[in-house]
Amino acid sequence: MNTKLVESLVQMIEALPSEDYLLLQGQLTDRNIQKTEGVCGGYARIRNTRIPVWTIVSLHNQGADEAELLRNFPSLTLFDLAATRAYYATHRAEIDRLIASHDEEDLTNG
């Protein structure tokens, strides 16, 4: 890990005007959620993982808090969970539809 590089980046980010800082936050959040054909059915997933956004949202809706999600998915970070919430806030219909279809599938197969 290059701690000097990271420290330099932190200093540059801290020096950004608030408007640019908000833009950076938005860009980082947007890039944290990916859709890739052939990976997780092409559904929105977190970073380069195979963890779909709908899975995390579904578990959260069932009562899992951040600590539990991080324990069960150790490759995730608090930033990943924040990006997931942000994605869900702007794509609620898409994620709710996926959750419902997978719940229906579970009932049919269960």
pLDDT confidence of 110, banded at 50, 70, 90?
low
Q: Which of 33-37, 54-58, 63-67, 101-105 is predicted with the least confidence, judged by mean pLDDT?
A: 101-105
pLDDT confidence of 34, banded at 50, 70, 90?
very high
Q: Per-residue pLDDT averaged across 37-63, rounded? A: 96
Torsion of CA 22, 35, 57, 100, to 10 degrees: 140
Q: Which CATH number fits domain 32-109: 1.10.3720.10, 1.10.10.10, 3.40.50.2300, 3.40.350.10?
A: 1.10.10.10
CA distance 76 to 85: 13
pLDDT at 105: 66
CA distance 6 to 10: 6
* Token pair 């997780």: residue: 40
Contact between 45 and 33 under an 8 Å Cβ cutoff? The reply is yes
Q: 26 pLDDT exceeds 80?
A: yes
Query: 16 or 110: which carries more pLDDT confidence?
Result: 16
Domain residue ranges in the chain: 32-109
Summary mean pLDDT of the chain: 92
pLDDT at 103: 74
